[in-house]
Structure 1
């Protein structure tokens, strides 16, 4: 210790608590220092993991009322964080919901955002801001692991699966990507890492066609005796057989690249865990898009027959296990405290969606949409009101339940605002900053929401208006109420969450006002 520091130490010992001015200075400095440390901790950038389940309904989790099946690991997120009762996708099907999530733009504003075939071109503009780019701009490492289903390659150009595919997740903001192109019921049934099909043999090139049969491989239509999972009639899951399952579309070649359905969950989990481990010392954003519980439902032997609800129940258990493994990995690496983990679904539930897996017969009273009406493909709440649970120990109070109106489309603006990033006028035109609601600090979410389930609807406060739309009231293939009605529909969701009583004729002024608001927003380039 130097002579100077010794003098200061002696003065401090003798006079600190006897001299009011010195004491005041000491306390002020101490408080300021502690305040700065607190502010630094408060502003610490969390790791973010968004777990995106597929076709999981509002009533499919035990934390949302399911009694025939238990999802303790997913429920744990809500118990240790927040569970939302009024959270939504933009759409009642997968591709548009994913488009809205990553772009902050209503998918109905852009043509070609419907459910895509496996050989579709990329529908996300590479020159626009995306959710992944928001994180990249904040210095995060980003990854997309799992289902993609947003197209690949140049617009109106056939994909060459045997060469690097130059437009995909990497070009939309993900440093790393491990995925399959569309859905597991569509060809090509291959994994892609960044730009390259995994395990590709140049001597066995891949070709894909969605308009006509190619090659001589067996199909579900011509060779049903080869199927281990029969296709439901008229769904189209009867083309090229891969792993004993008929797919949508035809494929030749790539024999050693083709996945085994029972291994998909484990493969994606291992890639997600690897990314977390490799980036544990850096802030990271992981978009973990599960295959479960989409058809064909083919759980690993670890879960087959374990739910007593058939294959659909088994893959719900597998999904919950996947979440448990991610939570364990965070605990193991001591990342739990500073990681925001969100679990949600891309649209509402469906039972029979193409394969005769007895999901309807074995539901045993289970209501996948809970109290909601409709499901996947529907304009009713069951189509796009979804589970949403989030945990961030440093910021979210455990055991919080929120009825704030939030939507996945808002994540882009919310994180851009959180990172104090400037957004251009064309960026995320329909995304609101709802970060306070997402973290449970406010019960106020976005002011209104437009959703797409065939017909468009608008929700503001407790009122929901569904625009008139011609078409069948029931989608026969899935036995889902579509919400189609030639007359306007109006529901008071605060009293009628199941949308049983149409109040349009009782409140014509409300119908007129909400129809006008929907038309105005639909026509506007930007509305927020």
Structure 2
């Protein structure tokens, strides 16, 4: 009897001891998770419109993986890129500075020098100071080098010189030469016996182009894209050599996805910042054969589905590697949609009932809303309460907002600290925002938007999109007229005057 009692007592002591130890371990884990800085990932699409996702109202395309971010996070209905074109938006995203303050912040050629000053504060530099590992994988399009670029040697300055510890990029866009990947300043797979030459003014002797050798084309150009041919696709700019280094267009999405997944797997033990800059649905639209015909809307619809799948696979990796719950994800696009942007790919003919603009007016290159209002989602599992926000937020605000998150003050830039808004804790967004399209600017203030008079074509005929240019002021009440159909400038001169004063004050 006594032996039984002692045996039970020993078992009880062991059980209590184990329970206390386990409880202490769980408590410590909770503290560690709370004290750890969250990983930060920006997933950035290229030319994705406000209405291109099912979570933003699309009925002809289903994007379940991006929808999952929206339903599990904050979906912003007034989320903006700074600009209606790619280079300026990417500049603003990384620097927190309005691109119109830099006259060189326009769509860059593939051999343009680095746009960001290496002494300038950037998002990756700031996060590096806070102890983050930093990386970019995907599209860069912010220039490389300081003038002439020797593609056969180390290419710098570039992403590494403005704060990224690791960079695996395509130099400009998929439709521009050089059509090679660059890994931390070195062209991937380059054969030094076949050096790369790039020129944006004249062709190299004997090199085929879309005009001289149309029989080599597998994709037909509509405008602008009639220079060097790579993989049967005509590009902007001329390129010679580097045959072994040229990318495979149909494998690009998979290629960047694997790089992004591998980065997470190899950097998960310390806080990291990953700028995952996807190339879809920018031209040339080259879906992998797995996705060809899946949308019924031609290559443009197919690559949107491809991008959604990639994001789903990437999210699986975050979960499998145990970092999802400690990762803040920001999803957006660099500007609004465009259908025919240089190639005949049936984007117009197979559009059907799909509205990439989501009821907005304009598109890429335009001062109207569809140029800069884009999908904008923040997601942080078990930290963000899912909701929909009408607050005005802009990608330019990531610098100050993430600075607050990691304890660094960046309030001296054009960037505004909207961390609580991005995390869904506040419905207060920006009071005012200056948007830009091809060096022209306009003002969003509250529910109103004002577009000043500008000379120039009212329609970009090549792409079939209204520019927003006219010789008169335009004033719209977006709360009651999201499609910007009624110009109230003459009916409401007092509001127009107020908007002009705010605009001129902010431009100083």
Q: TM-score, normalised by structure 1?
A: 0.89
- Could you tell me how far 1:388 is from its partner in structure 2? 1.0
Contact 1:58 1:387 (8 Å CA) reproduced: yes
The answer on 1:450 being equivalent to 2:439 is no
Stretch moving more, 212-221 or 347-356: 212-221
Aligned to 2:228: 240
- What SS class does the counterpart of residue 391 from structure 2 fall into? coil
* Match 2:267 to one of 258, 266, 279: 279
Aligned to 2:350, the other structure's residue is in SS state helix
CA contact (8 A) 2:82 2:395 kept: yes
Return closer, same or farther for 1:469/1:207 CA change in 2, 3 Å cut-off.
same
Determine the C-alpha separation between the residues in 2 that align with 1:216 and 1:313: 37
Q: Deviations over 1:423-460 (max 9, x none)?
A: 484xxx21000011101100001221000024311111
Q: Does 1:49 align with 2:41?
A: yes
Alignment pair present for 1:420 and 2:412: no
Q: Which residue of 2 aligns with 1:498?
A: 483
What does residue 212 of structure 2 align with? 222
* TM-fit CA distance, 1:306: 1.1
The offset of 1:63, in angstroms, is: 0.4
State the match for 1:405 in structure 2.
Answer: 392
Q: Could you tell me whether the CA contact under 8 Å between 2:421 and 2:428 is conserved in 1?
A: yes
| Cross-structure match for 1:430 | 414
The answer to whether the Cα contact below 8 Å between 1:353 and 1:478 also exists between their aligned partners in 2 is: yes
Secondary structure at the aligned position of 1:48 is classed as: strand
Q: Paired residues, what number?
A: 482
Alpha carbons 2:399, 2:410 under 8 Å: kept = no
The alpha-carbon distance between structure 1 residues 35 and 326, as it changes in their structure 2 partners (threshold 3 A), is: closer
* Aligned equivalent of 1:23: none
Which residue of structure 1 lines up, in the alignment, with residue 376 of structure 2?
A: 388
SS in 1 for 2:443: strand
Name the counterpart of 1:14: none
Query: Superposed, which structure 2 residues align to 1:32-111 within 5 Å?
Result: 41-111=33-103
- The answer on 1:251 being equivalent to 2:239 is yes
Query: Do the aligned partners of 2:89 and 2:335 also contact (CA within 8 Å) in 1?
Result: yes
Tell whether 2:497 aligns with 1:517.
no
2:155 and 2:186 in contact (8 A); partners too: yes
Instruction: Determine if contact 2:400/2:411 at 8 Å carries over to the other structure.
Output: no
Does 1:205 pair with 2:195?
Answer: yes
1:371 aligns to what SS in structure 2? coil
Spell out, residue by residue over 1:78-125, the C-alpha distance to the aligned partner (whole angstroms, 9 max, x if none).
111111100000000000000000000000001211000000000101
Residue 449 of structure 2 is aligned to residue 464 of structure 1: yes
Is the CA contact (8 Å cut-off) linking 2:210 and 2:217 kept in structure 1?
A: yes
Using the TM superposition, give the Cα deviation of residue 36 of structure 1 relative to its aligned residue in structure 2, in angstroms: 11
Structure-1 separation of matches of 2:201 and 2:53: 38
Which residue matches 1:143?
135
CA contact (8 A) 1:215 1:252 kept: no
1-structure distance, mates of 2:111, 2:200: 8
Correspondent of 1:185 among 175, 178, 182: 175
Rounded Cα–Cα distance in structure 1 between residues aligned with 2:294 and 2:337: 20
Alignment of 1:373 with 2:373, yes or no, is: no
CA distance in 2, matches of 1:368, 1:446: 25
Q: Deviating runs (4+, > 2 A) in structure 1?
A: 34-44, 422-425
CA 1:42–1:490 in 2, change beyond 3 Å: closer, same or farther? Answer: farther
Q: What is the root-mean-square deviation of aligned Cα atoms in Å? A: 1.5
Contact preservation (8 Å) 1:380, 1:453: no
Task: State the 1:516 CA deviation.
Answer: 2.0
Bigger mean CA deviation after superposition, 36-45 or 260-269: 36-45
Aligned with residue 284 of structure 2, among 276, 283, 296: 296
1:360-410: CA deviation from partner (whole Å, max 9, x where unpaired): 000112100111000000000000000012210232013x11111100000
Deviations 1:9-38 (A, max 9, x none): xxxxxxxxxxxxxxxxxxxxxxxxx99997
Rounded to whole Å, the distance in 2 between the matches of 1:269 and 1:442 is 33
